[in-house]
Structure 1
């Protein structure tokens, strides 16, 4: 999801998106550690997706740690 689409999300939806992406990254890291992950580039794209969403959240002043 690009930054423009993230900016169009409501605050609650943005926090949900961040939580979902963090769970996905955890799963990818787990697959990578066990040798099951074939596309290692997905780790980089997942990290970028989280960073992009966190940037939008910080611009709005949303605390994603407590939400």
Structure 2
């Protein structure tokens, strides 16, 4: 989480998009096989959520 807080706004947006794309790739790759790496999916989803939380916190801070 500390790494995410240190990122600039542009880097944070890029980070979120990269993680979403990675999650999308994993879902499509494992869709037919039935075999999923649940831990990896969970970790990527957590990283996306942390990035979005930081982005929203910055937006609220700039509005106040």
Class of the TM-score when normalised by the shorter of the 2 chains? 0.7 to 0.9
Shift of 1:61: 1.0
Where structure 1 has 5 or more consecutive residues not aligned to the other structure, the ranges are: 63-67
For residue 41 of structure 1, what is the aligned residue in structure 2?
A: 39
Contact 1:28 1:43 in 2 (8 A): yes
What TM-score results when the alignment is normalised by the length of structure 2? 0.82
Larger radius of gyration: 2
Superposition RMSD in Å: 1.8
Show structure 1 runs of 4+ deviating over 2 A. Answer: 36-40
1:25 and 1:9 mapped to 2: Cα distance?
A: 21
What TM-score results when the alignment is normalised by the length of structure 1? 0.78
Q: How many residues align?
A: 60
Query: Could you say which structure has the higher helix fraction?
Result: 2
Shift of 1:36: 7.2
Does the C-alpha gap of structure 1 residues 24 and 43 become closer, same or farther in structure 2, counting only changes over 3 Å?
same
Where structure 2 has 5 or more consecutive residues not aligned to the other structure, the ranges are: none
